Structure 1
Amino acid sequence: MKKIMSWLTIIGLAGFLAGCSNNTEGSSDSSSSGSDDTIQIGVSAFPGWYTWYAVEGFNQFEKNGVDVELVWFNTYSDSLQAFNSGNIDGVCAALSDTISPALNDVDFKVVLVNDNSAGADGIVAQSKYESLKDLRGQTVATEVGTIEHFFLLSALETVGMDENDINLTNMTVETAGPAVIAGQVEAASLWEPSLSYAASEGDTNLLFDSSETPGLIPDTLMMSGDMLENRSDDVQKVVDAYFDGMADYVENPDEALGFMAEQADISTDEMAAAMAGARLFSVADNNSAFHDEAEDYTYLPYTAEKTAEFLLEQEMVSKELSDPTSIFDSTYIDALYEENPDLAVPDTQAE
């Protein structure tokens, strides 16, 4: 029962629960509790982004001389809205969710990649459905306009289907998991930890996950143009703090998982299991993703270009992304790579 209640807390089964945050009341109210110098970064419930709470737990923001407040959002799309409206300074976002703000002239850049989803996103269905093709004509839940919508459409494309072949219903990730368990929908497109909960606690099948689409879903840190222009040194400190925190994670994995699990209100074992679906990016991985030009998903601008094309085909955006490189600013990774190219990150998939 304790385990079940822990998972119910993190996925927000009851919308009126207080939420998991140590820093806010778990809503999209991003009013700062710090000074004008505090950098607010929006974080949501995805394993690769819980790593920021390890960075905070190891006091790496303070050690690097930067004042950062991690602002928790129970609903991922609320964090994007807060960032795009200028209410927070940075946000953890899937690369696919950088396309629309770029096309709508939101002033930002992607400054680092936390991870690639490698099993942390998936499609869970009631057990009578054994393949994606079985979902033809069935009700499938996702949070429309977000990465899970994009992932669902990409998954359907692998079996020659599209959105017109299903009955799509709009639900947040926090509510879609419980809905598929309860039989209210036939399937749902989810990310961790909602994914593991829905796949393990109900009479359900995991039909497809992001390990089958390697590189499709990079998870990034977006920083506002104002921060980049006026506080570039502090942005560098944020990036440095992140990778110092990951080095601490390598040396003290149980302690790191403890910080992350406390934020998620789950056990360290559950957090380790959730992290197995995220391949964390080192400084070297970031450098390669920014600079090593390739016609595949290892290269960020290529991924952005193909993602934007897909979103346009699906009419999820209204125009082409003319210059995919415009989304990225490698300045901060470049500086860190030059200084310490061998900074490591945990091999979470080996856990």
Structure 2
Amino acid sequence: MTSPTVLKRLGSALSIGLLTASAAMNAAAEEKDSFSIAWTIYAGWVPWQYAEDYGIVKKWADKYDIEIDIVQVNDYIESINQYTAGQFDGVTATSMDGLSIPSASGIDTTALIVGDYSNGNDGLVSKDGKSIEDLEGETVHLVELSVSHYLLARALTSVGLEERDLSVVNISDADLVSAFQTDDVRHVGTWNPLLTEVEGFPGATKLFDSSQIPGHIKDLTLVNTETLADNPKLGKALVGAWFETMNIVKADTEAGAEARAYLGKLSGTDQAGYEAQLAGMKMFWEPQMSVDFINSKEASEAMDSVRQFSFDKGLLGQGAMSPDFVGIQFPDGTIMGDEGNVKLRFNDEYMKMGAAETL
């Protein structure tokens, strides 16, 4: 559910900050009344399109006398690149990519909405192995430097192995399912809906999935910190629209079923397919659920693990001498990393307003 190809992933992480950070930072800080948010297809983000199509975003934007344009971008990494370049005021992204692309590029970014975390939607599947230990000396195909790569690293650590104990081969997500049907590809890491397809291969075994590392693969709606500070109405409108949508999507009603069917169609599947993807996620249906999670020890420990992986793989940039290069601020004000370079912030202020219905 992250990078479509390793080339795009490397290009975005290592070069875009040098080209665009200064321009984006200068353009962000101003009071304005029109905003744009980029999103890409994934079960945890597609509700933004429902909220747009059914007038929920407009309703909340009108409440604050602003305009919000919800824009689908077909390429996930490109959407984050464009946000980093200042072309969007916000973007949907995982916590790892939010850290390694805009934040590492110097763009002060706020996680306004913590929507969910992967709770089984990402996994490792083998034709031959029955446990992670069976991967020792083997070759695993996955989208390199994606959350699948991170998942593999965590899985190996859980059994005392390291990445050097096996080989990792990069493969495009578009090619992964067909490759797994060949004799040469025996072990893969991927995400839904691809995970369901490879897991259904005769004799295949799911060795490890994201439910075993709860909270590590967080799905966020990010906004530029300076833009949010100058335009608090944007934060209120987005949070209000998101959780009103969540209230519809979760409902065991005809309206809820219709919403999930609509989201399934947008996702290239149907209602049952979309509901299956929801089952592999820990959804924060209510704002207080998001607030409780992001203030938990579990959430901070997960981010520490993510930043360590990002540093080890060079995703924080050439100037990063340690995982502390980018400061990460949590809602209670504590900072993980460089206090002088805080570029990723988890702000629960607006979600708290939503929980108290004071938006």
Pair in the same fold by TM > 0.5: yes
Task: Tell me the residue number matched to 1:99.
Answer: 99
Deviations 1:57-102 (A, max 9, x none): 43211221243223132x4333332322323322221112222232
1:272 positional shift: 0.9
8 A contact 2:132–2:159 mirrored in 1: yes
Residue 349 (structure 2) pairs with residue 331 (structure 1): yes
Task: Tell me the residue number matched to 2:140.
Answer: 140
1:113 positional shift: 0.7
CA separation in 1, counterparts of 2:205 and 2:91? Answer: 32
CA separation in 2, counterparts of 1:229 and 1:307? Answer: 26
Task: Tell me the residue number matched to 1:23.
Answer: none
1:239 positional shift: 1.5
Task: Tell me the residue number matched to 2:336.
Answer: none
Task: Tell me the residue number matched to 1:262.
Answer: 265
Structure 1 counterpart of 2:54, from 49, 54, 58: 58
Q: CA RMSD in A?
A: 2.7
Task: Tell me the residue number matched to 2:308.
Answer: 309
8 A contact 1:305–1:324 mirrored in 2: no
Mapping for residues 152-301 of structure 1, pairs under 5 Å:
152-201=152-201, 204-251=204-251, 252-281=255-284, 282-290=286-294, 292=295, 294=296, 296-297=297-298, 299=299, 301=300
Task: Tell me the residue number matched to 2:19.
Answer: none
Change in Cα spacing, 1:227 to 1:185, as seen in structure 2 (3 Å) is farther
1:141 positional shift: 2.2
* Alignment TM-score, normalising by the size of structure 1: 0.77
Change in Cα spacing, 1:334 to 1:258, as seen in structure 2 (3 Å) is same
The gaps in structure 1 that reach 5 residues or longer are 1-11, 13-35, 342-351
8 A contact 2:143–2:170 mirrored in 1: yes
Task: Tell me the residue number matched to 2:82.
Answer: 82
Residue 114 (structure 2) pairs with residue 109 (structure 1): no
Change in Cα spacing, 1:40 to 1:201, as seen in structure 2 (3 Å) is farther
Q: Which amino acid aligns with 1:131?
A: S
1:203 positional shift: 5.2
8 A contact 2:124–2:190 mirrored in 1: yes
* Alignment TM-score, normalising by the size of structure 2: 0.75
Deviations 1:157-185 (A, max 9, x none): 11222221222122233332332233453
Change in Cα spacing, 1:112 to 1:37, as seen in structure 2 (3 Å) is same
The gaps in structure 2 that reach 5 residues or longer are 5-31, 62-66, 330-341
Change in Cα spacing, 1:262 to 1:76, as seen in structure 2 (3 Å) is same
Q: Which amino acid aligns with 1:102?
A: S
CA separation in 2, counterparts of 1:134 and 1:147? Answer: 21
CA separation in 2, counterparts of 1:81 and 1:141? Answer: 25
Aligned residues: 301
Change in Cα spacing, 1:204 to 1:287, as seen in structure 2 (3 Å) is same
CA separation in 2, counterparts of 1:162 and 1:84? Answer: 33
Task: Tell me the residue number matched to 1:129.
Answer: 129
- 1:242 alignment partner, SS class: helix
1:146 positional shift: 2.5
CA separation in 2, counterparts of 1:164 and 1:275? Answer: 34
